[in-house]
A and B are shown apart, each in its own frame.
Chain A
Amino acid sequence: MNAPLPRSGALHAPGTVLTGAEILWESLVRVGVDVVFGYPGGAIMPAYDAMARYPMIHHVLVRHEQGASHMADGYARASGKVGVCVATSGPGATNLVTGIATAMLDNVPMVCITGQVPGALIGSDAFQEVDITGVTLPITKHNFLVRRAEDIPRVIREAFYIAASGRPGPVVVDITKDAQQGSCAFEWSDAPIVLPGYRPERAPLARELEEAKRLLDSAERPIILAGQGVIRAGATDLLLELVGKRDVPVASTLLGLGGFPATHPLALGMAGMHGEAWVNKAIQEADVILALGMRFDDRITGNPKTFAQKAKKIHVELDPAEVDKIVKVDVALVGDVRDVLAQLVPTLDEKRRPAWLARIDEMKGDSAVRDIQALPDEGRLYAAHVIHDLWRLTEGRALVVTDVGQHQMWEAQYYKHDHPRKLLTSGGLGTMGFALPAAIGARFALGPHPIGGADPTEVWVIVGDGGFQMTACELSTIAQEGIKIHVAIINNGYLGMVRQWQELFYGGRYVATPMKSPDFVKLAEAHGVRGMRVTARAEVEAAVREAQASPETVVIDFRVEQEDSVYPMVASGKDLDDMIRRPERKHNPIYETGED
């Protein structure tokens, strides 16, 4: 029965009799997997036992399965490849759920492999039995329950294909213990995958393209709203060409940041709830909106009924189910952003728009007291300062992974991303605890860490004191793996974003938001990495440079202003240009002026 052990790094020839567990790794190697993030347990033990025979796949032992799912996610977002995590049945599988939902809402290609109780016990409430395909049905792109060893190769191929193609998403592959233990002849095919009901590719009709061109030609005040679809499709070059030809300013969604260079003169920045005032105003004044690979999330539109009412809308989107979901559009070009732009852009002639660009400059000027570099440094440490300095000291090239909260919005406002796949953040689900594990995944995608000055493969985590504590255990994973990332904790002593809502909308009653934290420096040291503390702006630069030069992971505890808020802000459900602006305060150097 037992197949001879392959020599280190060697795969078996198809036809060899192998166990399901071996077939799993044989299959994973063949679809290109070189790292998996996981945690063992009873129902997945056969797979773990066989893993030792496949040293070409590196296994990262996490501290909590949620971490494994975010690591696979971070790996996928940073590389564009499919990320893989592994967990046991029952609690192992349910611990993945938050990470799966995070990946689903942000269209991240991921395959989650879970062990399942033996087939004969399914349905009997066996020890550690959870119907994980049932649980994850609404939060996966697709899922599989595998009961036989011989089905593993086909399912792995299909899972990777489904996860990565079309609108990407997470796929769960639940494999019973007896399927891992059973043996059969290993068969592998490289033939194209045929799933009769699956249609990942779409293309718009010629008349829809003509109609889009007609609208773009008629535009006086056009705006592009660039989403994550631009990054997924690798369409930045075509977008630059379009903008160059037509003088169309580009606003981005949170997940779209980096898809168009932030320092480009026609980059407006992020739109939406915490978008800059001029961006949201420009959207409301636009007469044509070209929405690229974005889904009109409520954080972008404000009140959808009053969103960009003067504008004809062209929606370029891969998923027809997104068309007219929130905002009714005039033309839908259903297809990959790159393919659609490749057809559209060559048909467009050059047009300059001095009047519209002057109008936008005027709106910008109104609220452009945001150049915080020019502001007096009176000793206080603001999160915006820290992030701005990080941007400067990393030369705007680092890969930044943010968590969820105020620091996430400040990062989006102050770290100017010029390159795609350089900002990883949980946009759709807004999952606190995402940043640290996702950064570990990104580290594996980017390769060995740099030591020294600014480097495009640096990984920086920007995380709140609250979110950091949700997955801080993964510091041990970092120590065990001997990898290096930088962690900037924006420590304001509060669940800051919730505190901000309490300040603005709940009468200033700070219920359950003041938060006591451990000594993060000691916590870092206890995990075997370095810790530093920064309490004044003057110390920021030296600390960041020291972290960059350090051979090991450094956690910097930035003690920032406690009750600062993110502005401007469109309250939930309000019109996009109905913004709460930063109040002018004497002691506050980051106020905005202007009557608007």
Chain B
Amino acid sequence: MKQTRTFVVHVEDQPGVLDRVASLFRRRSYNIDSLNVGRTHEEGISRMTIVCETDASVARRIEANLYRLVNVLRVDDITDSPRVERNLALIKVSAGPDVRPQVLQILSTVGARAVDLGPDSVVVEATGTHEEIERLAAVLAPFGILEMVQTGLVAMTRAAERPQLSRGEAA
């Protein structure tokens, strides 16, 4: 049964690592819904959050194939773990003075905020799950969305442990 699965992948921060990971997904025809990469608090280690729609058996092989990459330090499929997930969106809404109060009203109701006010537009910053962002975008759509960007999901389990990044237990 296919479901949305979330992988957290720690990699060495080296040239070409993103290329290797992306190439693996492309070559094996695993579809990526979203991929986010960024630094961690540890020098030389980057963290990716990869979301894809797949069944459990393929998910196991994705994990095993990621481990075949020499620069991949650790892979966690956190789909079944309690976790925090966030997606940051910037949405530029067409909002002249007449409708602006209405837009700001909506933002405060859903906990989003305006980070830039122009004469005819508002840049909205919102965080949430992908679905929450989609819902917000749907509500703002009637005003006219000029531009929109999302970071892709970043995720973290709630458990009070730090991922073991040395020669760890593999898949």
Contacts and interface: CB of A to CB of B under 8 A. Distances in A.
Nearest to B169: A199
Given A137-B20, A320-B64, A199 B57 contact: no
Contacts, number: 53
Contacts of B61: 321, 323-325
Given A137-B20, A138-B27, A197 B71 contact: yes
A505 interface: no
Interface residues of A, number: 21
B69 A197 contact: yes
Contacts of B65: 321
Contacts of A138: 23, 27
Q: Main SS of the interface on chain A?
A: loop
B70 interface: yes
B119 interface: no
Contacts of A198: 70
B170 A197 contact: no
A330 interface: no
A34 interface: no
Contact of A196 (B12, B67, B69): B12
Interface in B21-61: 23, 27, 57, 60-61
A197 B73 contact: yes
Contacts of A449: none
A324 B59 CA distance: 11
B19 interface: yes
A319 B60 CA distance: 12
A320 B170 contact: yes
B68 A319 contact: yes
A379 interface: no
A141 B71 CA distance: 11
B166 A196 contact: yes
A104 to B, nearest CB: 12
A172 interface: no
Interface string A144-160: 01000000000000000
A134 B71 CA distance: 16
A319 B11 contact: no
Contact of A202 (B11, B60, B170): B170
A137 B19 contact: yes
Given A319-B68, A321-B61, A324-B61, A196 B165 contact: yes
Contact of B70 (A134, A162, A202, A321): A162
Given A133-B16, A196-B165, A196-B167, A321 B23 contact: no
B19 A134 contact: yes
Contacts of A197: 11-12, 69-74
B171 interface: yes
Interface string A184-210: 000000000001111100100000000
Nearest to A167: B68
Interface string A87-111: 0000000000000000000000000
A581 interface: no
B171 A320 contact: yes
Contacts of A325: 61
A27 B73 CA distance: 27
A319 B170 CA distance: 11
Contacts of B167: 196, 199
A324 B58 CA distance: 9
10 contacts: A134-B19, A138-B23, A141-B68, A142-B69, A197-B70, A197-B72, A199-B67, A199-B167, A199-B170, A321-B68
| Pairs A-B, 10 closest by C-beta atoms | A321-B64, A320-B64, A197-B73, A142-B70, A321-B65, A198-B70, A197-B72, A320-B171, A138-B27, A199-B170
